[in-house]
Chain A
Amino acid sequence: MSEPIIICRDVNVWFDDFQALKGVDMEVKKGEVIVIFGPSGSGKSTFIRTINRLEEHQKGQIVIDGIELTHDVRNIATIRSEIGMVFQLFNLFPHLTVLQNVTLSPIWVRKLPRDEADKEAMQLLERVGIPEQANKYPGQLSGGQQQRVAIARALAMEPKIMLFDEPTSALDPEMIKEVLDVMVELAQSGMTMLVVTHEMGFARAVADRMFFFDEGLVVESGTPDDIFGNPKEERTKLFLSQILTH
C-alpha cells in the first residue's frame, strides 16, 4: 500500500514565455495529506491544476494511480473522474440547485439512476452539514455553505484524491472554521488530499507533509514538525515569519 498514488517528475509548465513551474518533483502516497504553501505567484495553483489537467505540462511526467497524464483524452477523462477539486471561488453551477450540483457527476459520469444519486447526495450534504439547503440555489447560500456544497460535489464522484486550491481564502473569518472542520474530518477518514492553504493551524493538525513553493520550485518540504520547528531554508523562515505574525 505504500505505492505512490501521485508521481510527479520534473514537471515544467510555461505560459508563453513565462515559466510558472520549473521542475517540480513530488510523490504522494495513498491517504497522505499534503499542504502546499508559498508566496503569491509561486505556482501553487498551477501545480495542482496541472495534476487535474486544467493546465498542461510541457515537460516532465505525471502519473496518477498508475495512469500517465498525456494528451490521450481517455486518460484525461479517467484521471479527472478519480480526482475531486475544490476551488477558491467555489465555482458552483448557479443555474442548478444544491442537490443538482451534487448529483450532476453521479448521473452523467457515473451513470447512476436519479433516485440513487439523490440518496447519495443527501448523505454527502449531511456529511458536510447542510442537508436542509438541498433545494436552494447556490446564490442563496453563504460563502461557507457554498464551499461545503463544492466539497460535497467533488466527493460525489467518489474520488481517490481531493485537490483544494485555497478553499478558505475567499471566506469571512467566521466561515473558515466550518469549512476547515469538514476538511479535517475528510483527512481523518483517510482521503488523499493536496491542499493549497495558508491556514497553518490546519496544516499542523492534519498535514503529513508540507511543501513550500517559491518561483515555480519546491524550495523545501518536510513534516509539519520539521517545517515549523526547524526550517532549513532562509526563504521558508522568512515566509513563515511573515504569515505567522499576521
Chain B
Amino acid sequence: MSISTEAARPPEPPGPLTWVRRNLFNSLFNSLLTILMVFVIFYTVRGVIYWIVNVADWRPVVNFPFLYLVGQYPRDQLWRIGLSTSLIAILFGLSWGTWGGLIRTFAVSLGAFFAVVALLPVQSNELTIPVRGALLANVLLIFLGFRLGRLQAVKGSFTAIAWLLAIEVITLILLPGLSLRETLTLLIGSALVFIIVYIIYQAIRVGGINSTLRILILIAVILLAAEIALASFPNLANTPLLQKVATTSWGGLLVTFFLAAGGIVLSFPIGVVLALGRRSSLPVVKVFCTTFIEVVRGVPLVTILFMFSVILQLFMPPEARIDRLLRALMGMTFFSAAYTAENVRGGLQAVSQGQVEAAKSVGLNSVQIMSLIVLPQALRAVIPAIVGQFIALFKDTTLVIIVGINELLGIGKSIINSDPEFIQLQAEVFIFIAMVFWISSYILSYASRQLETTLGVGER
C-alpha cells in the first residue's frame, strides 16, 4: 500500500549538491575537466575585471555621451529628441499596462537604459543635472504610463490611437524643414504603416478580421490613395514652423534605432505581402514578387545601400529627391523584407493541406482561410526565424557607414580619429559598442522566446 502512495507523487527535484555531483563530477575525466574550467574561468574573469577597472581608459566612451546618443544633432535642438523620447517612454509604459506580456520586456529595458545613462558615475559637461533629471523623468513616465494603462477605462484601442498620434507628433517634431509635400507624405505614410501593422497584429491575436479591423482596413486604403495622389502633386510650398535639422547631422544610437525600428516595422508587412504574392495564382503578381525576392537576396546589402543612396538619386527629378537617411532606410527595409518573405513562405508551406480543407469545409472563403487559419499558424511557426532576421537587420545598420551615415559604430570611429590620444584606445570604444549591440540583440531574442511561449508555439 505504501508503495502506491509513494508512486503517486512526482519524484523530488534533485538538490543543488546532487546536481553538481551528477553533472560536473560524475567521472574522473569530467571532474578534471570541471576543475580545469573553473581555473580558466576564474583567471579570465579576473583578468577582464582588472582590465576594465585598472587598465582601460574609458574617456573616449564616457566623455561624449551626446555624440554616441544623437551624433551631431544641433545641441540647441536636443529638446526635440528629448520630447520624442519622452513620448515613446510614456507609450511603452501605457502599452505595458494595457497589453502586458511582451511589451513589459521592452518597457523595462527602455527604463533601464534611461536610468543607466542618467546615473552614469562620470563627470561630464554634457550630462548636466537637468539632462540627468530629464532622463530619470522618463523612467517615471514609463511607470506613470503603466499605472495609466492598468486603469479599467483605458482600452487597447485607446493605447493604439495614442501610439498613432504619438508617431505623427514625433514625425512632425523630428523631421520638419522638409517640404510640405514631404511632410504630408511622411505623416500619412507613418499612419499607414502603423495601421497596417496594427491590423496584422490584431488579426493574429483575435484570429481574424472583425468589424473594427474592417474599418481600419478601409482607413488604410484611403490613406494609401491619399499617399499616391500626393505623389502626383507638384511640390507644395513649405512653411516650416521648426528650424530645419538636416538628417546629415543625425548620428549614433538615434540613427541605429531609427534604422532598426523603422526597418523592422516596415519590412515585416512588406515581407508578408511578398510571401503571399509569391504563392499567388496571378502570374503577374507571382513573377513580380519572386523576381523581387530573388534579386534582393542575390545582392549584398552594401550594394543595395549604394544603389539607393547613389543610383536612385540619378533617376529622380531634383525636386523629388528623397532624404539620405530615408534612402538608407528604404534599402534596409527592402533587403530585410525579402528575407522575411522567404521565412514567411517557409511557414506557409508548413501549414498542412488538411487545415485548408477543414477551413473550406466550414465555409470560409479564401481571404478568411488565409487570414484566420493559414497566416496565423505560418507566422507562429517562423517567429524565431523572423526575429533572427530582425536581429541581423539591427546589426546590419552598421553598414550605413559606407554611405556616409554615422550610426553608432561610425560615431565610435570618428571619436577615435578625433584625438591622437584615442587611437590607442580603440579597444575600449569597440568593446563598448559591441556590448550595446549584444545587449540590444539579447533583449530582442529574449522577447522572441517570450512571444513563443505566450503564443504557445512549444506546446503543440
Chain A residues with CB under 8 Å of chain B are 49, 52-54, 77, 80-81, 83-85, 87, 89, 91-96, 100, 104-105, 107-109, 137, 139-140, 153-154, 156-157
Q: Which residues of B contact A95 (CB under 8 A)?
A: 207, 376-377, 380, 455-456
- Cross-chain contact of A80 among B208, B363, B376 (Cβ < 8 A): B363
Q: Does any Cβ of A come within 8 Å of B355's Cβ?
A: yes
Q: Which residues of B contact A93 (CB under 8 A)?
A: 355, 358-359, 373, 377
Q: Which residues of B contact A154 (CB under 8 A)?
A: 361-362
5 contacts between A and B (CB under 8 A): A87-B357, A94-B377, A95-B377, A105-B362, A154-B361
CB pair B362–A77 under 8 Å, yes or no, is no
CB pair B373–A109 under 8 Å, yes or no, is no
Q: Which residues of B contact A54 (CB under 8 A)?
A: 357, 360-361
Minimal Cβ-Cβ distance residue in B for A93: B373
- Assuming A84-B361, A84-B362, A93-B359, what are 18 further A-B pairs, CB within 8 angstroms? A52-B360, A53-B360, A80-B360, A80-B363, A91-B352, A92-B358, A93-B355, A93-B358, A95-B376, A95-B455, A95-B456, A105-B363, A108-B364, A108-B368, A108-B372, A109-B363, A137-B456, A157-B362
CB pair A94–B460 under 8 Å, yes or no, is yes
CB pair A139–B361 under 8 Å, yes or no, is no
CB pair B377–A91 under 8 Å, yes or no, is no
CB pair A153–B362 under 8 Å, yes or no, is yes
Q: Which residues of A contact B373 (CB under 8 A)?
A: 93
- Which has the most chain B C-beta neighbours within 10 Å: A85, A94, A107? A94
Q: Which residues of A contact B456 (CB under 8 A)?
A: 95, 137
Q: Does any Cβ of A come within 8 Å of B121's Cβ?
A: no
- Which has the most chain B C-beta neighbours within 10 Å: A80, A85, A108, A153? A108
CA distance A52 to B380 in the complex (A): 29
Q: Which residues of A contact B318 (CB under 8 A)?
A: none
- Which has the most chain B C-beta neighbours within 10 Å: A83, A91, A100, A153? A91
CA distance A53 to B380 in the complex (A): 29
CA distance A87 to B223 in the complex (A): 44
Q: Does any Cβ of A come within 8 Å of B54's Cβ?
A: no
CA distance A31 to B376 in the complex (A): 38
Closest Cβ of chain A to B161, distance in Å, is 23
CA distance A105 to B455 in the complex (A): 22
CB pair A91–B362 under 8 Å, yes or no, is no
CB pair B363–A77 under 8 Å, yes or no, is yes
CA distance A100 to B455 in the complex (A): 15
Minimal Cβ-Cβ distance residue in A for B455: A95
CA distance A105 to B208 in the complex (A): 12
Closest Cβ of chain B to A234, distance in Å, is 35
CA distance A104 to B352 in the complex (A): 19
Closest Cβ of chain A to B70, distance in Å, is 42
Q: Does any Cβ of A come within 8 Å of B421's Cβ?
A: no
Known contacts: A108-B372, A137-B459. The answer to whether A96 contacts B364 by CB under 8 A is no
Chain B residues with CB under 8 Å of chain A are 207-208, 352, 354-355, 357-365, 368, 372-373, 376-377, 380, 455-456, 459-460
Minimal Cβ-Cβ distance residue in A for B208: A108
Closest Cβ of chain B to A109, distance in Å, is 4
CB pair A87–B358 under 8 Å, yes or no, is yes
Q: Which residues of B contact A53 (CB under 8 A)?
A: 360
Minimal Cβ-Cβ distance residue in B for A139: B460
- Which has the most chain B C-beta neighbours within 10 Å: A85, A96, A104? A104
Q: Which residues of B contact A104 (CB under 8 A)?
A: 207, 362, 364, 372
- Cross-chain contact of B361 among A52, A94, A107, A108 (Cβ < 8 A): A52
CB pair B354–A77 under 8 Å, yes or no, is no
Q: Which residues of B contact A77 (CB under 8 A)?
A: 363, 365
CA distance A169 to B455 in the complex (A): 31
Known contacts: A95-B377, A108-B208. The answer to whether A87 contacts B354 by CB under 8 A is yes
CA distance A94 to B372 in the complex (A): 12
CB pair A89–B354 under 8 Å, yes or no, is yes
Closest Cβ of chain B to A75, distance in Å, is 13
Closest Cβ of chain B to A101, distance in Å, is 9
CA distance A139 to B457 in the complex (A): 11
Minimal Cβ-Cβ distance residue in B for A104: B362
CB pair A139–B459 under 8 Å, yes or no, is yes
Q: Which residues of B contact A81 (CB under 8 A)?
A: 363
Q: Which residues of B contact A87 (CB under 8 A)?
A: 354, 357-358
CA distance A153 to B373 in the complex (A): 15
Q: Which 5 A-B pairs have the closest CB atoms?
A: A91-B358, A85-B361, A105-B362, A81-B363, A139-B460
CB pair A91–B460 under 8 Å, yes or no, is no
CA distance A89 to B460 in the complex (A): 15
Minimal Cβ-Cβ distance residue in B for A153: B362
Closest Cβ of chain B to A146, distance in Å, is 12
Minimal Cβ-Cβ distance residue in B for A114: B210
Q: Which residues of B contact A139 (CB under 8 A)?
A: 459-460
Minimal Cβ-Cβ distance residue in B for A78: B363
Q: Which residues of A contact B352 (CB under 8 A)?
A: 91
- Which has the most chain A C-beta neighbours within 10 Å: B354, B355, B358? B358
Closest Cβ of chain A to B201, distance in Å, is 15
Minimal Cβ-Cβ distance residue in A for B209: A108
CA distance A140 to B458 in the complex (A): 12
Minimal Cβ-Cβ distance residue in B for A85: B361
Closest Cβ of chain B to A170, distance in Å, is 12
Q: Which residues of A contact B359 (CB under 8 A)?
A: 93
Closest Cβ of chain B to A116, distance in Å, is 15
Closest Cβ of chain A to B282, distance in Å, is 16
Known contacts: A95-B377, A139-B459. The answer to whether A80 contacts B372 by CB under 8 A is no
Minimal Cβ-Cβ distance residue in B for A100: B207
CB pair B459–A91 under 8 Å, yes or no, is no
CA distance A91 to B355 in the complex (A): 6
CA distance A204 to B411 in the complex (A): 83
CB pair B460–A137 under 8 Å, yes or no, is yes
Closest Cβ of chain B to A70, distance in Å, is 16
CA distance A100 to B362 in the complex (A): 13
Q: Which residues of B contact A105 (CB under 8 A)?
A: 362-364
Minimal Cβ-Cβ distance residue in B for A86: B361
Closest Cβ of chain A to B410, distance in Å, is 43
CA distance A89 to B357 in the complex (A): 12
CA distance A91 to B361 in the complex (A): 11
Closest Cβ of chain B to A191, distance in Å, is 16
Q: Which residues of B contact A91 (CB under 8 A)?
A: 352, 354-355, 357-358
